[in-house]
């Protein structure tokens, strides 16, 4: 499953609740940024 598919499922799961969608996207963005700064590989 790729990121757009996961995002689509997350939006459906949250029933379109903007607060939840915003929170989940922010958490994912922070985690991705931290992983990149720690030089984690794609698999990790």
Q: Give the CA distances from residue 21 to residues 2, 26, 34, 40, in Å, rounded to whole numbers and listed in that order.
A: 17, 9, 20, 25
The pLDDT value recorded for residue 11 is 92
Q: What per-residue string of b and e applies to 4-38 under the rule 16 or more CB within 10 Å gives b?
A: eeeeeeebeeeeeeeeebeebeeeeeeeeeeeeee
Which pair of tokens denotes residue 44?
A: 């990790």
E strand spans, 1-44: none
The model scores a pTM over 0.75: no
The pLDDT value recorded for residue 14 is 93
The pLDDT value recorded for residue 35 is 94
The pLDDT value recorded for residue 40 is 92
DSSP letter (8 states) at residue 42 = S
The tens-digit pLDDT sequence of the chain (44 residues) is: 898 999 999 999 999 899 999 999 999 999 999 999 999 988 87
């Amino acid at each position: 499953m790729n990121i757009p598919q996961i995002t689509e499922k997350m939006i459906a799961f949250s029933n379109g609740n903007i607060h939840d969608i915003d929170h989940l996207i922010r958490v994912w963005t922070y985690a991705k940024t931290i992983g990149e700064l720690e030089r984690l590989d794609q698999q990790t």
